[in-house]
Amino acid sequence: MPAVSELPASEPPLVIAFVNNMPDAALEAAETQFQSLAEAAAGHTRIHFSKFYLPGVPRLERGRQYLSQSYSPLSRLIDSPVDGLIVTGAVPSGSTFEGEPYWPSFTKLADWANANGVPAYWSCLAAHAAVKHFDGIERFRMPRKLSGVFECEKAAAGPLVAGVPLRWQVPHSRYNDLREDDLIAAGYRIVSRLKSGSPDIFVNPRHNLSVFAQGHPEYDRMTLFYEYRRDLGQFLRGQSGVSPHPPEGYFGPGTAESIERLDGMVPPGACAEEHLRVIEELLAKAVITASWRTVAVRVFANWIKLLLKERSRRRPARAAGAARAAPALPAGIEWRAK
């Protein structure tokens, strides 16, 4: 198969549906991050990026307005011809997925993708929800939030990690984890894992070239900064009982240690705004290295190649010279990377 950058200009756009379940404050950021990553990975392949929302995800008025203006309801996706699917996670409101208000619509989406052979990229909490629905695999709560940029290593060869080094960096930001033994027992294959043994990327041949990722390769260089500042502000204002640790492997030398020393000096609720201001001044001087972007683009480029190959298999080319019918595309954004 030709490289992505070598595909002819006459090739119809690759249709990727993006189901954004992030909380209101992160809706636009997640959208921008995934679009940017897919665009960088696409080479000269045209991408048609259509955005959808999942019913049942709790929203404030701001979020509802943004979705109504820029997104289509899930019902439109079910009736659309798509070549790939990206699904982000939703912040849990309870301890079980079955009790979440969006669970019925999420399982409908997952079953539709599986039944129609649509390759999907399940991101973080969406990966947890998908393996729970598909195979009954339960996530478990970790003692503390896993936040930072971690080294992971290639655990298996395959087209998804072709051209990827043996080890690379990837951001993670989550409270829950999956056990590798549970995934393997259900037929999943671990593609990469963290040094701790936590699965990073995994796949299952039974689920249509789908990719399950606990990490966030789509993050831009400032995302973990903003998340940490948010978590720290909630703790200092007494809105959270958990003092967040600075993201591991993210800030320059000495910055994390300085933040932790400052955190130990002021109890929650005491001079919260002033303390947060001091820490933000310290963070503003920190060196942040986005060391994961190159590999993230390579992995996504490999996934796009798999989508193109699967589309060719499912939609055989017509005889030479015959016109190829263009699919009826849902509303979305289309680009050709320069």
Quickly list DSSP for 199-255.
Answer: EEEEE-GGGTT-EEESS-TT--TTHHHHHHHHHHHHHHTTS-S-PPPPPBTTSPTTH
What average pLDDT does the structure give for the chain? Answer: 86
Rounded average pLDDT over 207-214: 91
pLDDT at residue number 80: 82
48, 216, 245, 275: the active-site residue:
216
Count: domains in the chain: 2
For residues 274, 275, 281 and 284, what is the CA-based torsion angle, rounded to 10 degrees? Answer: -130
- pLDDT, mean of residues 183-202: 97
Residue 7 lies in a domain: no
Write the single-letter amino acid at 159.
P
Specify whether 102 is located in the same domain as 229. no
Considering the domain architecture, whether residues 236 and 297 belong to the same structural domain is answered as no
Residue with the bigger pLDDT between 88 and 331: it is: 88
Q: 31, 39, 100, 218: which one is catalytic?
A: 218
Establish if 172 belongs to a structural domain.
yes
Where in the sequence is the domain holding 99, given as residue range(s)?
Answer: 12-142+153-218+292-318
Q: Give the three-state DSSP class for 126.
A: helix
Q: 10 pLDDT band (50/70/90 cuts)?
A: low
Are 207 and 113 contained in the same domain? yes
Whether residue 338 lies inside any domain: the answer is no
Using CA atoms, how far apart are residues 291 and 169, in angstroms rounded to an integer?
A: 6
Higher pLDDT, 61 or 236: 61
Between residues 123 and 327, the one the model is more confident about:
123
The tokens for 262 are 């400052």
C-alpha angle with apex 208: 203 to 213, nearest 5 degrees? Answer: 30
For this structure, is 271 an active site residue? no
Is 134 a member of any domain?
A: yes
Both 232 and 157 in a single domain? Answer: no
269 band by pLDDT with thresholds 50, 70 and 90: low
Let me know whether 119 and 245 are in one domain.
Answer: no
Question: Closest by alpha carbon to 333, among 27, 50, 9?
Answer: 50
- CA 155 – CA 153 distance, rounded (Å): 6
Instruction: pLDDT band for 263, please (50, 70, 90 cuts).
Output: low
4 within some domain: no
Is the CA virtual torsion 307, 313, 316, 320 positive or negative? positive
* Annotation marks residue 273 as catalytic: no
Give yes or no for a contact between 279 and 264, defined as CB atoms under 8 angstroms apart. no
Query: Is residue 188 located within the same domain as residue 75?
Result: yes
Inter-CA distances, 131 with 187, 206, 226, 305, Å: 11, 12, 29, 24
Q: Is the dihedral of CA 130, 131, 133, 139 positive or negative?
A: negative
Residues 138 and 279 in one domain: no
What was the pLDDT predicted at 271?
63
Percent of the chain topping pLDDT 90: 64
Each residue of 101-112: b (16+ CB within 10 Å) or e? Answer: ebbebbbebbee
Same domain, 52 and 68: yes
The pLDDT assigned to 48 comes to 93
State the pLDDT confidence band at 71, using cuts at 50, 70 and 90. very high
Q: Is residue 238 part of a domain?
A: yes
CA–CA dist 215, 224 (Å, integer): 12
The residue with greater pLDDT, 6 or 198, is 198
My answer on whether 231 and 198 are in the same domain is: no
Task: Mark whether 124 is an active-site residue.
Answer: yes
> What average pLDDT does the segment 317-330 reach?
38
Same domain, 202 and 259: no
3-state DSSP percent of the chain in helix, strand and coil, to 5: 40, 20, 40
114 in the same domain as 235: no
Q: What mean pLDDT do residues 56-83 have?
A: 93
User: Choosing from 31, 124, 227, 245, which is the catalytic residue?
Assistant: 124
pLDDT at 171: 97
**Would you call 258 exposed, middle or buried from its count of C-beta atoms within 10 A (0-12, 13-18, 19+)?**
middle
Condensed to tens digits (0 to 9), the pLDDT of residues 122-176 reads 999 999 999 999 999 999 999 999 999 999 999 999 999 999 999 999 999 999 9
Q: How far is CA 197 from the centre of its chain?
A: 20
Mean pLDDT of 63-69: 95
Residue 335 located in a structural domain? no
The mean pLDDT value for 174-186 works out to 97
Question: Residue 49's beta-bridge partner residues?
Answer: 16, 333
